[in-house]
Structure 1
Amino acid sequence: MKIKRVIILDLASLGIGESGDANRFDSVGADTLGHLFADTSEDITLPTLTELGLGSIRYQNLVSQLPVVEDPLGYYGKIQITAPNNEMHSGLREMLDYQSSIRTTSVLDSVVEANPVDNNVLLLSNYQSYFSNQIKAQNVHVNDDVSVWWSMHREAIRQRSGLIYARMSSLPRLANSANQRGYLDELIQIDGHIQRLMNEMFSTDMLIITSSFANDMSFPTSPTREYLPLIVYLPSNRAGKSLGIRRILGDIGATVAELFNVEVADKNHGHSFLREFI
């Protein structure tokens, strides 16, 4: 299996239930996704994410609108943050940083350095100082998700090598304002765009859907310490299965590093899950 491009879709603020260390962060009982659907009487569904395995992640704590599917198209599981603090940007660094032989660095620039001729890295996000420090990546500041998706769909149909990272800015804003109806509407829009993106992808692409932090708007704590979704879709392999529980968000960066032959130190905290697809 040859993967040339990875697309990371960060549904920032979407959590799927309290993590094992929730008691340390005043988050016992937090469940962004579960509370969203429990608090609405409307028949709202997310067909694409459900087909990919979002409901299957929660087989022990079902959401009626997100059923378990027998043959999911994606690999699915949950992943947690291990950072000792619970700040909104801690997960982003944990996701994409790795330990090289000499220092901690970002996989973003390293993907370009691994093959400067062919690989490119495109970052679609509202302003983040972390991204601005990546000098080899193309950093496109976009303040609304319409612009993110316009850029994403335009780029997806180009058969290129490297990495695309897209961060949804509307979800965190809606969570901060406790706009549950707006948050659900945004998830519905995202679900439709993911379906379109899947149709645009090449057989040499990999899509990773996750979240860099959680924010249950029914909780006074912000952010909340929760497990985060992990869904991987491969157009070349549509027979998904469970990825179980991944113990550190850095597993995503480690997987990207392995794909692009970036040298990772033995003491790196993240562990690639690439073997799950082989």
Structure 2
Amino acid sequence: MKIKRVIILDLASMGIGESADANRFDSVGADTLGHLLADDSTQITVPALTELGLGNIRYQNPISQIPIVDNPFGSYGKIQIAAPNNQVNSGLREMLDYQAEERTTSILDSVVEVNAVENTVLVLANYQSYLSNQLRAQNVHVNDDTSVWWALHREAISPRPGLIYARMSTLDQLAHQGKKEEYRNELEMIDQNIQRVMNEMYSTDLLLITSSFANDMQSPLTVTREYLPLIAYNPGGQPGKSLGIRRSLGDIGATVAELFNVQVADNNIGHSFLRELL
């Protein structure tokens, strides 16, 4: 099955537990999702994320409200960010940049460059200078996640080849404010929209759900060094399986590059997991 379109959904701020190098970034014990649901009596309903395999990622440290499922719809894994710093936009650049033969460039531009006749790249996000500087991508600056979802659902039903990057911003805002209940409610709303996107997708679409950084509201830090989730779903693909621990968010960009025949240098930090999906 040939994938013609990739949708990257960035649930910015959602970490899933301290990464292996957490001690270097004052993040020992950080766990955005785990602390959010530490009390077993806390209620949350996220059936789409559960069936996609979110709970399976945490098989060593399970959350009762998001259980492991036997046959997840999606392939699942976790990512340890490779950037030597822990800033909000470090993960974003690591995810979407790649090393070409002569320079570092963005997959957002390259997907269009390899086939400007067919491919389009759409960015749905609040203002980020890095995203705005990509000249070939169509940037839709949105002030709230409701607008992101509205635009994403509109695009999902239109089978145009290319790439859609959609960045959620509300979770991070709520994390900054320490609003756990509202964060859980927002996750439920996100889950409902993910289910709707899954229903709108074509068999030639690939949905990648991740997070460009973590923000555990129990930590005094605004960015915590945690593993980040990775879920890959294709309606026409194989049953879900483990993608293991990925060593860089650049694996996402490398996977997109392979799908669209973008040439990546041998020393690129990211490694494609496309063959593990198809």
The TM-score bracket by the shorter chain reads over 0.9
Q: What amino acid sits opposite 2:261 in the alignment?
A: N
Deviates more, 1:33-42 or 1:85-94: 33-42
Deviation string, structure 1 residues 214-260 (Cα, Å, up to 9, x no partner): 00000112200000000000000251010000011100000000000
Match of 2:60 in 1: 60
Shift of 1:42: 3.0
1:80 aligns with 2:102: no
Secondary structure of residue in 1 paired with 2:37: helix
Equivalent residues of 2:12, 2:214 under 8 A apart: yes
Aligned residue number for residue 261 of structure 2: 261
Displacement after TM superposition at 1:263 (Å): 0.5
The equivalences for 1:200-215 within 5 A come to 200-215=200-215
Match of 1:242, as an amino acid?
S
Q: 2:173: which partner in 1?
A: 173
Partner residue in 2 for 1:5: 5
Displacement of 1:40 after TM fit? 6.9
2:122 aligned with 1:139: no
The letter for the 2-side match of 1:172 is D
- Mapped to 2, the partners of 1:131 and 1:122 lie a distance apart of 10
Instruction: Indicate the residue corresponding to 1:117 in structure 2.
Output: 117
- What is the TM-score when the length of structure 2 is the normalising length? 0.99
Please name the residue that 2:243 is paired with. Answer: 243
Once residues 147 and 122 of structure 2 are traced to their aligned partners in structure 1, the CA distance between those partners, rounded to angstroms, is: 14
What amino acid does structure 1 have at the position aligned with 2:213?
F
Closer/same/farther in 2, CA of residues 226 and 251 from structure 1, 3 Å limit: same
CA distance in 1 between counterparts of 2:78 and 2:151 reads: 28
Q: Aligned letter for 1:223?
A: V
Could you report, residue by residue, the CA deviation over 1:144-190 in whole angstroms, capped at 9, with x for unpaired residues?
00000000000000011000000001011111111111110000000
Residue 45 of structure 1 and its aligned partner are, at CA, apart by 2.4
Q: Could you report, residue by residue, the CA deviation over 1:23-59 in whole angstroms, capped at 9, with x for unpaired residues?
A: 0000000000000011473322211000000000001
Q: Partners in 1 of 2:40 and 2:64 — Cα distance?
A: 12
Question: Is 2-11 or 215-224 further displaced after alignment?
Answer: 215-224
Query: TM-score when scaled to structure 1?
Result: 0.99
CA distance in 1, matches of 2:152, 2:242: 27
Matches of 1:146 and 1:176 in 2, distance apart? 19
Runs of at least 5 residues in structure 2 that lack an aligned partner in the other structure: none
| Residues in 2 aligned to 1:268 and 1:44: alpha-carbon distance in whole angstroms | 39
3-state SS, counterpart of residue 197 of structure 1: helix
Larger displacement relative to structure 2 (238-247 or 209-218): 238-247
Residues in 1 aligned to 2:190 and 2:31: alpha-carbon distance in whole angstroms: 20
CA distance in 2, matches of 1:198, 1:40: 29
SS of 2:94's partner is helix
* Counterpart for residue 218 of structure 1: 218
Residue equivalent to 2:161: 161
Residue identity matched to 2:19: S
> What's the counterpart of residue 29 of structure 2?
29
SS at match of 2:95: helix
2:40·2:64 contact (CA, 8 Å) conserved in 1? no
Contact kept? 2:40, 2:65, Cα under 8 Å: no
Aligned length: 278
**Pairing 1:47–2:47 present:** yes
Q: Distance in 2 between matches of 1:201 and 1:159?
A: 9
Letter of the structure 1 residue corresponding to residue 202 of structure 2: F
- Between the aligned partners of 1:257 and 1:147, the Cα distance in structure 2 is 28
Q: Matched residues in 2 for 1:205 and 1:181: separation?
A: 33
SS in 2 for 1:91: helix
Percentage of matched positions with identical amino acids: 72
Matches within 5 A, 1:99-118: 99-118=99-118
3-state SS of paired residue (1:38): coil
